[in-house]
């Protein structure tokens, strides 16, 4: 009897010790998890603190008066890129055989800025000519500036331009030839380079107007006439950097 009781008591003690060991291991595991989470939280707070409020500013949409550093790619009515500030887009256009595409530096544009000028000259590079002034039309510039509103840094947006019937001109065979074009060889959809006067008025002391060049699209060719469309269908824009007005 004594030996049997001793065995019973010994067995109870062994079971209690196992439960205590499991409980201790469980507490230690949760303690380690808590310490790791606390460390991650501390690191996160340190990172956010080091960033200051700049990350909040970057998330704020562009507003009137802000200055945007912008990638701009202008498209003709057939969707071809004819002007871009993106080297990769420029190279891709050349690979597709579009030689009448211009490359410029990213543009600095104030959000909702407007200009009354018909032409805003932009220094740009044309593969078949070299560096010259590209004729960025004022109405298109205004639409790009307005399209920046509400965008954030890194965001891309496509803007569809309002089609202006004044941005095309019908030329007779003689007029087109006098301007240096080859009427016989020209086909609908061809791209050509035209000059646009940048001076709204010519002063008495300077009767030589300044010109900027622009890629245009030929369309509606007949036996006697051809239409030159120098308006574009739209633009792809990306805000690379924003400077807040306040």
Q: CATH assignment of 64-243?
A: 3.10.50
pTM score of the predicted model: 0.74
Q: What average pLDDT does the segment 14-19 reach?
A: 52
Cα–Cα distance for residue pair 113/64, rounded to 1 Å: 8
- On the 0-12 / 13-18 / 19+ scale of CB atoms within 10 A, 176 is buried
* Structural domain spans, the chain: 2-52, 64-243
> Across the chain, what does the average pLDDT equal?
81
Q: Is the pLDDT of residue 152 over 90?
A: yes
Q: Is the pLDDT of residue 244 over 90?
A: no
State residue 179's pLDDT score. Answer: 85
Give the model confidence (pLDDT) of 180-193 as tens digits: 889 999 999 999 99
Q: Is the pLDDT of residue 225 over 70?
A: yes
Q: Is the pLDDT of residue 70 over 60?
A: yes
State residue 25's pLDDT score. Answer: 57
Cα–Cα distance for residue pair 60/246, rounded to 1 Å: 12
CB 76 within 8 Å of CB 228: no
């Amino acid at each position: 009897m004594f030996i049997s009781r001793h065995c019973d008591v010994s067995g109870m003690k062994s079971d209690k010790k196992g439960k205590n060991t499991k409980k201790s291991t469980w507490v230690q595991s949760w303690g380690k998890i808590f310490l790791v989470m606390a460390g991650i939280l501390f690191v996160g707070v340190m990172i956010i603190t080091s960033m200051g409020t700049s990350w909040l500013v970057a998330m704020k949409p562009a507003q009137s008066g802000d200055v945007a550093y912008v990638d701009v790619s202008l498209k003709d009515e057939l969707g071809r890129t004819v002007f871009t500030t993106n080297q990769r887009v420029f190279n891709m256009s050349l690979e597709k055989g579009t030689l009448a595409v211009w490359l410029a530096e990213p543009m600095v544009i104030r959000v909702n800025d407007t200009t009354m000028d018909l032409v805003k000259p932009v220094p740009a590079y044309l593969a078949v000519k070299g560096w010259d002034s590209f004729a960025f039309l004022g109405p298109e510039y205004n639409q790009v500036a307005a399209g920046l509103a509400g965008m954030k840094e890194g965001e891309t947006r496509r803007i569809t331009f309002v089609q202006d019937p004044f941005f095309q001109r019908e030329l007779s065979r003689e007029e087109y030839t006098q301007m240096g074009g080859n009427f016989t060889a020209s086909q609908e959809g061809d791209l050509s380079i035209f000059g646009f006067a940048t001076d709204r008025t010519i002063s008495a002391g300077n009767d030589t107007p300044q010109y900027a060049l622009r890629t245009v699209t030929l369309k509606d060719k007949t036996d006697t006439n051809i239409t030159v469309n120098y308006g574009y269908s739209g633009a792809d824009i990306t805000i690379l950097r924003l400077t807040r007005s306040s």
